[in-house]
Chain A
Amino acid sequence: MPALRRRDNSLSLCSIIHLMKLIKLDYSELDHSETENPWSLKGISFTDFNLIIGKNSTGKSRTIRVIVGLANIISLRAPLTDGSWHVEFVNEDSKKPIKVNYDLTIVSKRVIKEKIVVDGEVKLDRNGKTKIFSFDKSDFIEIEPPDDKLVLHIRRDKKEYNFFEYLIDWAANARGYEFSDVRPGDITIEKDVTTLVRLNTVPQVTEKLEAQTLNTIIEEFNSIGFEIEEIKVNKLSAAPFDVKILEIKEKGIQHFIKQIHLSQGMFRALALLILINYLIEKKETSTILVDDLCEGMDYERATNFAKLILEKMNKAHIQFIATTNDSFLMNVIDIKYWNVLKRVNTVVNAFNDDNSKELFEEFRTTSLNNFDFFASSYYSKLGIKNE
């Protein structure tokens, strides 16, 4: 175990909790089950906008689930789940970015390891014994947490252990969606829509939007190839209780069209766009994870939508992580935003501009379409040294 060092920690609480971004992730499942294969993911790194790509069955969706799973555990949206996460975040709220590392290993729903390092300084080290840095005492103290709880849950204290807030804030604002699972006919009744757990809560979210934001959404939605004049929220007439649905008015069409009659691609894009604009309006820092981005959308709208999201992410405090195996989408998103997944048996390696810079740069000089990364020998060259 590395030596725990004392440090006069004078982090101001109110300045530490925004703009947390996921930078790197390694994940593995321990080989302790007789029925499950121990799946692992290595080398994935993230920027503000990210496209996770790979051939079928390489682990794109599972990667999203691993990240969302961690966020759910930290934010208490889900119970402890087995796995070993090694995660690096950066907090960009201060002049000097702060690096936060979090290691968590859970076996048989028991916490085996939990470690937090902030800018190279260990703040929590749980690996058999548990030591935690106390702001009040300016020193480490030994504690004995129950093994079915995270220390960051049972010891959360915004003053004394303020470093937990980095992770809690990230997790509370990390939301994962399956684009292909969003259907206009799925009407959701949520008490607290602000958690934004499902894209189908979009009618309730729309009600909370300012008129200016709604206009922006209509403008942006039309810029990707749709033609709508108005969006409103209405009560579903046949419902026995208060159920809200979206209605949109298309140009040249006399009456509003109910959400349930919208095409899947149209509803999915509109729902995601409303959610992103809601977060921007509320100035919320957030991590949005979308599996199968643009699934169900046609070529032109899908590519325009992806470009629009990229453009918006550059101006918002939102980290966007999406998966796709759509060649059109890949062609419009620069490979510097890519993580290419390759699976060998149960080990998935991610390749990106960070760990395969030379190969990525060489490919870019070929003037081939991005999708040719797969069609050509570049894909097979990835990770040859590592495998």
Chain B
Amino acid sequence: MKRVEIFVEGISELIFVRDILLKIYNFNATKIYIHCNSLNPRTNHKDLWERGTPGAEIHIEITDVVGYTNLLSAIADRRKRLEENKVSLVLGLRDIDSSEYTEFIRESFTRDESILKVQEGVDKGLSLYDFGMEVKIFYAVLELEAWFLALYKVFVQIDSRLTNDYIKSELGLDLESIDPEKDIEDPCAEIEKVFALVNKSDDKPRRTTVIVGKITLELVDEVKELKVARMHEFIDQLKSL
């Protein structure tokens, strides 16, 4: 049995990772076992969700650490337990925002430069601890919703009116031609606008559930090499567990 732990910064990321994993491994209960939990002190969800048989080939624990600032510390704090549990791979998934670096370094950087600086910092943070397993951190540039915008064809499946042409004409947003990682400032707000076009006012977790439910691996492959390079890096990692 291979043990993998995935730490994510929020509930949206948890839903995304969980559902993508199920699709990658064909909902095969003997192949993959997934257990989800949250470190949210308010809710104390130790058992948020579970699927598969505990003796499955790949045992995956997904932990919502409630905020990207907790991601690295949550992994570091648990390093002994991870080693004791014979976890061979730890993945982290978090947003990465250019302002995270520029807000306290009083110099201006481009988005790419800032992101690189944050990644360098995270690598430095990781290097402070001895981990008895491989630890890899993945980044959703700006936020996970940028990935959803890249997979824009899900919108038409949610509501047949939400074609790219319609979104383009109403919002001036050509989702087919842009790379949301590079060309958008606030992906979450754009998704809210898209949903508002068809009078959908779901909150963020509900929207995430609806969108993730419509994402297929074919859709993901369609935009490979074209946009959201970091999403493909992450999904390729999930495929190779």
Chain A residues in the interface with B (C-beta under 8 A): 299-300, 331, 336, 361-362, 364-369, 371-372, 375-378
For the complex, is B121 an interface residue (Cβ under 8 Å from A)? yes
> In this complex, which of A376, A377, A378 has the most chain B Cβ atoms within 10 angstroms of its Cβ?
A376
Chain B residues engaging chain A, CB cutoff 8 angstroms: 41-42, 68-73, 76-77, 94, 100-101, 104-105, 117-118, 120-122, 124-125, 128-129
Say how far A50's CB is from chain B's closest CB, in angstroms. 18
A–B pairs, 23, beta carbons within 8 Å: A361-B105, A362-B121, A362-B124, A364-B104, A364-B121, A365-B101, A366-B125, A367-B68, A367-B69, A367-B72, A367-B94, A367-B118, A367-B122, A367-B125, A368-B72, A368-B125, A372-B73, A372-B76, A372-B125, A372-B128, A376-B76, A376-B128, A376-B129
Contacts of A371 in B (CB 8 A): 73
Q: Is the Cβ of A377 less than 8 Å from the Cβ of B71?
A: no
With contacts defined as CB atoms under 8 Å apart, how many contacts are there between chain A and chain B in the complex? 56
Partner of A365, one of B69, B73, B120, B129: B120
> How far is it, in angstroms, between the C-alpha of A361 and the C-alpha of B121 when the chains are bound?
10
Query: Are the CB atoms of B118 and A365 closer together than 8 Å?
Result: yes
Within the complex, the shortest CB–CB distance from A339 to chain B, in Å, comes to 18
- Which of B77, B105, B121, B129 makes the CB contact (< 8 A) with A367? B121
C-alpha gap A358/B63 in the complex (Å): 33
A299 to B6, CA, bound (A): 25
Complex Cα distance A367/B128, Å?
12
Q: How far is the CA of A369 from the CA of B76 in the complex (A)?
A: 10
Chain A residue nearest to B75 in the complex (CB): A368
Cβ contact within 8 Å between A377 and B128:
yes
CB pair B73–A369 under 8 Å, yes or no, is yes
A369 touches B69 (CB 8 A): yes
B68 to chain A, nearest CB (A): 7
Residue of B nearest to A377 (CB): B128
Closest-by-CB residue of A relative to B123 is A366
A201 and B29 alpha carbons, distance in the complex (Å): 64
Q: B124 — which chain A residues lie within 8 A by C-beta?
A: 362, 365-366
A366 and B121 in contact, given A361-B105, A372-B73 (Cβ under 8 angstroms): yes
In the bound complex, residues from chain B placing their C-beta under 8 Å from that of A375 are: 76-77
* Given contact pairs A300-B42, A367-B72, A369-B73, a sample of 7 additional A-B residue pairs in the complex whose CB atoms are under 8 Å apart: A299-B41, A300-B41, A331-B69, A361-B105, A365-B124, A368-B73, A376-B125
- Using CB atoms, name the residue of chain A closest to B77: A375
Residues of A within 8 A of B71 (CB): 367
Q: Which residue on B lies nearest to A334, using beta carbons?
A: B104
Q: How far is the CB of B97 from chain A (nearest CB, A)?
A: 11
